[in-house]
Structure 1
């Protein structure tokens, strides 16, 4: 459409969230000509319903060819009767794998950021010392911001899109990313402690949480993993291959459908959750959601091969 023929009230094209995030970090850290470094963290355990958060961060680590740069395995952090070491066979050898937190560096070419990807097990002891250890590593690697990824059990139906929401305690990030301040009060895990402590230490932090249906909260939870990966794509400007996870999510949903059909009580409960979800959220396809999906589609399109007809 010619610009002169556009209606006067036509909405202006908004800058993608990932571009706003990268620009905000460059401006706030005075590194206009460099790629800011963002630390992305997930921990197995209480913060990781269905294993969705840790699986999402591991997927990014694999996709970005992450290189191991740090390892935190202080035995004072773990109760080995609660988080047990594992025996693993590699060829003709057996080894003990101890609980640890690993930090990988990745430099995805599809985004404007360098990433430090942290995946570990929620510690059993000395959380304040563990948090200080993580934030010290962040400072050593000149981290400009932290993204905490978690998943929680909630009253949501498996048949609807999994809610995955961003929040931040940092007012500047709230404005830059158009996200809300967290309102949760109650027991928290290491993800919540790290988010709050990072902000207090002057490192802006963003939290991303997915809601996993509590009646199917066991791992794996590929539909929740997929929701987190898509939000991380939008926040970080990544282009991820989600085809396999999408297929797993569809198979997971079909499997839960079959289980629900065999139990009348569960089927009725799911129907009530669907009604509660649909009533306040329709119409679901907002302009912003459609725009984000279209941007994701464009990023995944490969340029045509010159040899193709």
Structure 2
């Protein structure tokens, strides 16, 4: 840990990738929101020719402000503060425009598309850049599709494979075993070179097909703000999250089957969250819920097998 101050005592790299780990674009949306608010510049950018299959992750064409059509290639970019360690504008002076807090000048960002190949080399390149920037901790953001109701607070699961981080922040270790995404590969590489890591996962309702999910993005930002010790203005995100939920309410009101399914999810979630619920009661209720579902393959929190790993709760993300 940096300077004896624990996980929050040094430079933190916040990471999100499009693709397998980014249901509802919640993770990348949260990091992009942070990028727009921080005074950062590009530190390094990977060569997309080395890591991407363009038939799988195709470049996109767009027209810029000058009317010129340009190509954008899949990749990954690391950003760092222009003046590392400098505290940003106090919140009272610039409440709507800037991230503030004593740690704001120590926040680095990595955002990109999950690579198609050469993950070991990719991780090595990213970790070399992190070490060169004296990054002392990494926070991974992820989002998964899960059997959770859109009408309840988005479930957030925080975990770490680092014993010191778990003890310091009073969080759990993931018990997931199975296929993983690039976040797990980077986490393993970071821990191997002595950089402690932390993962924050949001559960996105799988029956909501329209991305992005501003409610999940907001939930990640709420937890991220708490973990990295900064104040992050929410802008219009609160309004967008409310409109997202209201839009789904309208759809459910026109579809009896969907409304009944959401009611089942609400009942299961409320049982788990109730103050009187014991571990045994929660387990029994969830087993009953699974039987009602008839084993259709979604109730394990992995409706399409995409998320980068489960936690120990039926409604929690898994890493």
Normalising to structure 1: TM-score of the pair?
0.79
Whole-Å Cα distance in 1 between the matches of residues 34 and 53 of structure 2? 28
User: Cα offset for 1:58?
Assistant: 0.7
The higher-RCO structure (CA 8 Å, 6+ apart) is 2
Q: Tell me the SS of whatever aligns to 2:77.
A: strand
Deviation >6 Å, runs of 4+:
none
1:111 to 74, 93, 102: 102
1:68 to 42, 49, 53: 42
Tell me, yes or no, if structure 1 residue 86 matches structure 2 residue 76.
no
Q: Tell me the SS of whatever aligns to 1:238.
A: coil
Please tell me the root mean square deviation across aligned C-alpha atoms, in Å: 1.8
Whole-Å Cα distance in 1 between the matches of residues 18 and 209 of structure 2? 14
**Structure 1 stretches of 5 or more lacking a match?**
1-23, 285-309
Whole-Å Cα distance in 1 between the matches of residues 10 and 217 of structure 2? 25
Whole-Å Cα distance in 1 between the matches of residues 47 and 28 of structure 2? 17
2:76 to 89, 97, 101: 101
Q: 1:136-285 maps to which residues of 2 (within 5 A)? A: 136-283=128-275
Whole-Å Cα distance in 1 between the matches of residues 219 and 124 of structure 2? 30
Encode CA deviations 1:245-282: one digit per residue, 9 max, x unaligned.
11000000000011111111110110000000001212
Q: Paired residues, what number?
A: 257
- Larger CA Rg, structure 1 vs 2: 1
Whole-Å Cα distance in 2 between the matches of residues 167 and 218 of structure 1? 28
Structure 2 equivalent of residue 130 of structure 1: 122
Would the alpha carbon gap of residues 283 and 111 (structure 1) be closer, same or farther in structure 2, given more than 3 Å must change? farther
Would the alpha carbon gap of residues 63 and 283 (structure 1) be closer, same or farther in structure 2, given more than 3 Å must change? farther
Whole-Å Cα distance in 2 between the matches of residues 111 and 81 of structure 1? 44
Whole-Å Cα distance in 2 between the matches of residues 206 and 120 of structure 1? 18
Would the alpha carbon gap of residues 64 and 173 (structure 1) be closer, same or farther in structure 2, given more than 3 Å must change? same
Whole-Å Cα distance in 2 between the matches of residues 259 and 50 of structure 1? 18
Q: Tell me the SS of whatever aligns to 2:236.
A: helix
User: Cα offset for 1:28?
Assistant: 6.4
Contact 1:49 1:217 in 2 (8 A): no
Contact 2:48 2:74 in 1 (8 A): no
Normalising to structure 2: TM-score of the pair?
0.77
Structure 2 equivalent of residue 45 of structure 1: 19
Whole-Å Cα distance in 2 between the matches of residues 246 and 282 of structure 1? 26
Whole-Å Cα distance in 1 between the matches of residues 221 and 209 of structure 2? 18
Q: Is 272-281 or 57-66 further displaced after alignment?
A: 57-66
Structure 1 equivalent of residue 91 of structure 2: none
User: Cα offset for 1:73?
Assistant: 2.7
Encode CA deviations 1:133-167: one digit per residue, 9 max, x unaligned.
11111111111011111100111000000011210
